[in-house]
Structure 1
Amino acid sequence: MIQYFKNINGQTIEIPKADQGVWVNLVPPFKEEEFIELSNELEIPIEFLRDSLDIDERPRYEMEDNVKIIIIKTPTENNSFNDSDAFYITIPICIILTHNQIITVNSFDNGAIKKFLNTFQKRHPDKRNMMVLKVFEKVVQTFLDYLKEINHNRNQYEQSLYDSNSNVDLLKLMRVQKSLVYFVTALRSNEMLMMKMERTNFLGLNEDEREFLQDLIVDTSQALEMANIYTNILSSTMDAFASIISNNLNNVMKRLTSITIILSLPILVTSIYGMNVDLPYQHSNHAFYIPVIISLFISIVIGGYFYKKKWF
């Protein structure tokens, strides 16, 4: 679906077709006919429009026939029905700059473009470079928001795991860890993209715009550092829980082994007195109580020894 937005008197207006100074936004579902129509109408290489469909597309920039494309990664919630998938994934946003328009192509609905749309009435579409940088800003803000949410959820899952040792909570922590892997990879690529754009001045930025881009690089580095810290904390937590679970298993096995030993020795005594041979005191009136007393005595002695060694 193709959306055309224009800023008229400080209000965001959706118009039916492309015009001078219009922001063109492509959102799912996509149709090949729309790609071909938009490519012919705005003189955009159709490969630029199709690149966003590849969820694994890396952040980069390119220019062909005086049309520029910038691909940057942004986070979004994962709508997968698989319980082992990450809570959040990263998807590409394609920003295409033509002679008169700025076009964004999104393979999924995402928070960065929604935030940009909510503030579009403050934008100046004729200042295309600043429009691109503002999209970058919303991407960085979305990363930071999701990282704070991930850290909050991580603390909740850890606390729940302390109380219950549930496999469900371990699975949730694993899904958080997968999300952080996506974030670290995407943020590192975004940072490299911005630094390369600053170095080559791909957009032809003026001094104020270059300073704004430098601020975005700093914010991206901060988000990357946060993601790395949360990843390290989560990895350490998972290792600690693995050690705790292993230690608990060893304690359980130790208790079971102790109980087995305590029960096996009395069984040995009763087995001996159950043989069909002549045995001491077999004709005594207390023949039944003798093996019972011996068995209880051995059990108490061994149980006391294990208790002293803190095997229980």
Structure 2
Amino acid sequence: MLRMFSTINGQVEQIEKPENGAWLCLSEPTDVELATVSQETGIDLADLRAPLDDEERSRVDAEDDYTMIIVDIPTVEERSGRDWYETIPLSIIVTQNLIITVCMQDTPVLHPFMEGTIRGFNTYMKSRFILQILYRNATMYLRYLRIIDRETDKLELRLRHSMQNREILMLLELSKTLVYFTTSLKSNEIVMEKLTTLSRIKQYPEDEDLLDDVITENKQAIEMANIYSGVLANMTDAFASIVSNNLNNVMRIFTIISIALSIPTLVFSMYGMNFQTGMLGMPLTASKWGFLIVIVLAIAAGGLTAWFLARSRLFK
């Protein structure tokens, strides 16, 4: 989808044709839209396609007629009725007259700019627009990280009562998400450092505070991602130990039951043997109540053995 915006009388409005100082937003672009923008702006088609590869790395490329900035942005994907978070590339291409954004999805990072709700946003102020996108991107990371933290707390409560594979897999998925976030945020930090020394993009003096805010928000997001990753790693190790301990308790019970049942089995096996007449027979075989007595004694011996093993230090 190709949408074009321009600041007119202080308001962001959608336009039909590109003009000087306009913003071209490409979301989920078709090949025709990419070819049209490439032909009208002179941007290499390969550079326009670059952010459509979800493995594209964050970087800054300075060409003769334009500068391309690629950063990783967070996105939400619904799987099995749940929201999972990952990162995708967003390209910001700055030419002499235009600023172009390209993304494989219609990202919520850019929605406030389209709606004109960002204070001080003007499409013709390219360097400020870039910083505002980066600031918005960092705040989106912080927002998703807080959601992940709340999901982790809920998952911890569930794991205390249920240790099924579903909860463990969800824990691993959150841990993987945090690894993606940390890697992307560090890559974005390198891009920001390079932008501060890039002379071909005009810097406005009043944007120095905004640049500091962008760097601060990104660093805070990195610290939060690292903290949450450490918490998840410790939680995973703790619950792995709990699962192992629970398994040991189950095996302990089964071992006690197995040993306790082996004694009646041994007694019944001996009484099930055939003996010749005249030989020394088994005790109580001639008694009227012999069968019942043997059963009671075998059960009593098994129960006594189970009680002893349960109290033994070897099974605690």
TM, length-normalised to structure 1: 0.92
Residue number in structure 1 paired with 2:290 = 287
Matched residue, 2:225: 227
**Is 1:158 aligned to 2:156, yes or no?**
yes
Q: Give the distance between the partners of 2:249 and 2:311, measured in 1 at CA.
A: 15
In the alignment, the residues of structure 2 paired with residue 123 and residue 199 of structure 1 have an alpha-carbon distance, to the nearest angstrom, of 23
Counterpart in 2 of 1:251?
A: 249
Q: Distance in 2 between matches of 1:174 and 1:202?
A: 43
Q: 1:120 to 1:304 in 2, by over 3 A?
A: closer
Aligned to 1:4: 4
Work out whether residues 113 and 121 of structure 2, in 8 Å CA contact, stay in contact via their aligned partners in 1.
no
User: Structure 1 residues 200 and 5 mapped into 2: Cα distance closer, same or farther (>3 Å)?
Assistant: closer
Code of the aligned partner of 2:134:
F
Distance (Å, rounded) in 2 between the aligned partners of 1:275 and 1:168: 52
Distance 2:118 2:311 in 1: 74
Gap change, CA 1:166 and 1:48, over 3 Å in 2: same
- Are the aligned partners of 1:60 and 1:72 in contact in 2 as well (CA < 8 Å)? yes
**1:41 equivalent in alignment to 2:30:** no
Contact 2:72–2:90, Cα closer than 8 Å, also in 1: yes
1:147–1:201: structure 2 CA closer, same or farther, 3 Å change rule? farther
Per the TM alignment, residue 15 of structure 1 is displaced from its structure 2 partner at its CA by: 0.8
Alignment of 1:232-243 (within 5 A): 232-243=230-241
How far is the alpha carbon of 1:212 from its aligned partner? 2.6
Q: Deviations over 1:143-185 (max 9, x none)?
A: 0111111111111111112122232222222221121111011
Structure 1 residues 20 and 206 mapped into 2: Cα distance closer, same or farther (>3 Å)?
closer
CA 247–121 in structure 1, closer or farther in 2 if over 3 Å, else same: closer
Change (3 A) 1:185 1:82: farther
C-alpha displacement at 1:137, in angstroms? Answer: 0.7
Q: Distance in 2 between matches of 1:220 and 1:201?
A: 22
- Tell me by how many angstroms 1:194 deviates: 0.8
The answer on whether the counterparts of 2:10 and 2:122 sit within 8 Å (CA) in structure 1 is no
- Could you tell me which residue of structure 2 aligns to residue 299 of structure 1? 302
Give matches, 1:120-159, under 5 Å.
122-159=120-157
| Matched AA of 1:192 | I
Q: Contact conserved, 1:116 with 1:134, CA < 8 A, in 2?
A: no
Partner of 1:196, secondary structure, is: helix
Cα gap change, 1:300/1:21 in structure 2, threshold over 3 Å: closer, same or farther?
A: same
- Distance (Å, rounded) in 2 between the aligned partners of 1:226 and 1:196: 23
Q: Which residue of 2 aligns with 1:18?
A: 18
Name the SS for the 1:288 alignment partner. Answer: helix
Identity %: 35
Q: Give the direction of change, closer, same or farther, for the CA distance of 1:53–1:80 in structure 2 (3 Å limit).
A: farther
What's the TM-score once normalised by structure 2's chain length? Answer: 0.91
- Residue-by-residue CA offset, 1:46-82 (whole Å, 9 max, x unaligned): 2221111111111111111221110011000024569
The answer to whether structure 1 residue 95 and structure 2 residue 92 are counterparts is: yes
Residue 25 of structure 1 deviates from its aligned partner by 0.4
Number of paired residues? 309
Tell me, in whole angstroms, the C-alpha distance in 2 between the residues paired with 1:131 and 1:40. 24
Instruction: State the match for 1:56 in structure 2.
Output: 55
Q: Which residue is equivalent to 1:67?
A: 66
Query: Structure 1: how far apart are the matches of 2:81 and 2:189?
Result: 31
Pairwise CA distance, 1:113: 1.1
Post-superposition offset of 1:290: 3.4
Which residue pairs with 2:112 in the alignment?
115
What are the ranges of 5 or more consecutive residues in structure 2 without an aligned counterpart? 276-280
Q: Secondary structure at the match of 2:142?
A: helix
SS of residue paired to 2:97? coil
Tell me the secondary structure at the aligned position of residue 70 of structure 1. strand
> In 2, are the aligned partners of 1:116 and 1:138 still within 8 Å (CA)?
no
Structure 1 portions without partners, runs of 5+:
none
Deviation of residue 196 (structure 1)?
2.4
- Check conservation: 1:140, 1:219, Cα contact below 8 A: yes
The answer on whether the counterparts of 2:128 and 2:204 sit within 8 Å (CA) in structure 1 is no
Q: Distance in 1 between matches of 2:139 and 2:224?
A: 13
Could you tell me which of 169, 173, 176 is aligned with 1:175? 173
Distance 2:5 2:202 in 1: 25
